[in-house]
Amino acid sequence: MSMDCPQGSRPGGSERCEEDPSHRTKLHASHAFRGAPGAGSARYPSSIRSARKSPKANPSAQAAHFPIDGAAIRTYIFSMAKISNRDRILESGVGTMFRKGYVGSSVRDIADEAGVPLGSFTNHFRSKETFALQVVDRYFASIEQVIGQTLADPARSPIERLRAYLDAISDLMAADDWRLGCLLGNFGIETAGSSELLRTRLVEIFAQWKQPFAAAMRDASACGEIAPGLDAEDLAEFLLAGWQGAIMRMKVDRSPEPLQRFRRVVDQTVLARPPMTPEG
């Protein structure tokens, strides 16, 4: 069964699914779930600090610069007038563990940055490991919002969906000066050998994360945007794993070049348009 391509895209025709620059996704202030409301701005990565400075952005300006609904993400994080200590610890703890890592974040660090007594942490969480499990889920929830408006956006062509996702994540990396990377990738490296609980949860998350990549690749093949015969699941695994590796190298180099190199190779191979076949 063939897939209907977006307008202007026809398999085998002269008009293929072209990238529309207007769809380039910007997320300059929406790298969510890294700090607690009420904490000092120095505790937030730069993307969150910029969000807090202008919570009532002009709607028309926002539409022009935030195709992904950054305002909705910020509202979710900052709108609760009376946040509970448990939520305060979780919100702040994501930021603490993002900056310091799982091993480098003590329970006292987490409590201090949340502005709560140490006993408040032990009242709500059995251990740092079980706390980190909820941190992982909160962080992935923010990634799912990005996915929902890029990789899973039906208004974009399949290749545009993938490129919009990579643009969005690159913008988030840039907002933190290429220093922090991906919390899920960081945890995978840190905890896979020491915490079976976290390792198992990360396996589940990466399996879920792969699916929108696979869907985009299946759609791209049906739409004639990539060469036929490539396995969508294999491509999805390659893209997600390769992108994570590029992010890890980005952290080491403190440079966008590993991300840019990954994208150049993907554009020249996986996303290269198949040659036109003569009619008849």
pLDDT in tens, 219-261: 999 989 998 888 999 999 999 999 999 999 999 999 999 999 9
Residue type, 195: S
Contact 153, 69 (CB under 8 A): no
Runs of H (alpha helix) within 54-157: 59-65, 70-78, 85-104, 107-114, 118-124, 128-148
Nearest-angstrom CA–CA distance, 77 and 138: 11
Token digits for 206? 């990466």
Confidence (pLDDT) at 161: 97
Query: Could you tell me which residue, 200 or 76, shows the higher pLDDT?
Result: 200
pLDDT tens string 160-201 = 999 999 999 999 999 999 999 999 999 999 999 999 999 999
Residue type, 211: Q
Confidence (pLDDT) at 269: 92
Nearest-angstrom CA–CA distance, 28 and 259: 17
Confidence (pLDDT) at 70: 53
% of the chain at pLDDT higher than 90:
64
Query: Could you tell me which residue, 272 or 146, shows the higher pLDDT?
Result: 146
- Mean pLDDT over residues 61-66, rounded? 40
Give the domains, in start order, of the chain with CATH numbers: 21-268 (1.10.357.10)
Confidence (pLDDT) at 272: 86
* Number of Cβ atoms within 10 Å of the Cβ of 181: 20
Beta-carbon-side half-sphere exposure of residue 1 (alpha carbons within 13 Å):
1
Nearest-angstrom CA–CA distance, 124 and 120: 7
Nearest-angstrom CA–CA distance, 171 and 24: 11
**Residues 204-227 as b or e (16 or more Cβ within 10 Å = b):** ebbeebbebbbbbbbbbbbbbbbe
Confidence (pLDDT) at 83: 77
Query: Could you tell me which residue, 89 or 52, shows the higher pLDDT?
Result: 89
Query: What pTM, to 2 d.p., does this model score?
Result: 0.71
